[in-house]
Structure 1
Amino acid sequence: MINLTDTQVEAQLCNISYQGFAVRLLEGQDPFELAQMQSVTITGIGEFAVTARWRRDGKIGLAFLSKRGARPLLDAYFARTGEFPI
């Protein structure tokens, strides 16, 4: 879920690593200004402050603002799923 200034936009997680992740916007989502983005909530992992790195073809690449803060949540997620980033 992308948390904007005044609403939320649903998105699907495409990939994730310790540096950041990409999401795919669902079809029919209205475009929004990346400056409106406050944070992103990933179900089963947590909420992260992020910055957009790129946007194309209905996807947005995001980087964690605090890699140190994201690390424990990501470690727990990767341990639970058994899939670790390369």
Structure 2
Amino acid sequence: MAGLADKLDDGRVGLTLPCRVIAGDRTVPATLADLSYGGACIAAPHLPEDGPRAIQAIEVDALGTFDVIFRWRRGDRIGVSFRLDHDAKPRLERYFATCETGAPA
């Protein structure tokens, strides 16, 4: 059976995790909708129309803070890529290993 980290190697993993989008001087509650080693899709219905271009980071309680680059917006969803892939990958691997075993990271 393929683990969650293996699925990440193949692309994106769908999930639902609360997060916060940091855009300029605003912090907006949102939901992480899918995740890959390179970036994420975030449901951010409360992000103002002018907000996406100001996005600097996302905070996820279970994963920490990631510096990001805004890539696209479709409706209330935004796509971001991680500025530091080499920093994101080990954190994501630890998180998904914890999800599979139920043990704390």
Same-fold status (TM-score > 0.5): yes
User: Which is bigger in relative contact order (C-alpha 8 A, separation at least 6)?
Assistant: 1
Aligned-residue sequence identity (percent) comes to 30
> Amino acid of the residue matched to residue 12 of structure 1?
T
Amino acid at match of 2:49: P
What is the TM-score when the length of structure 1 is the normalising length? 0.83
Residue 82 of structure 2: which of 54, 61, 64 is its match? 64
Contiguous gaps of at least 5 residues in structure 2: 1-19, 101-105
- Cα deviation per residue 1:32-84 (whole Å; 9 max; x = unaligned)? 332321211012101001111211021001111110011121111111112xx
Gap runs ≥5 in structure 1: none
From the superposition, tell whether residues 29 and 3 of structure 1 become closer, same or farther in structure 2 (CA, over 3 Å): closer
| CA shift in 2, pair 1:29/1:68, >3 Å | closer
> Alpha carbons of 1:73 and 1:23: their partners in 2 closer, same or farther (altered >3 Å)?
same
SS at match of 1:76: helix
CA distance in 2, matches of 1:35, 1:60: 10
Please give the TM-score of this superposition, normalised by the length of structure 2.
0.70
Summarize the Cα distance change of 1:29–1:60 in structure 2 as closer, same or farther, 3 Å threshold. Answer: closer
* Cα RMSD (Å): 1.4
Give the structure 2 partner of residue 21 of structure 1: 40
AA at the equivalent of 1:72: P
- Letter of the 2:62 partner, please give it: G
Give the count of matched residue pairs: 81
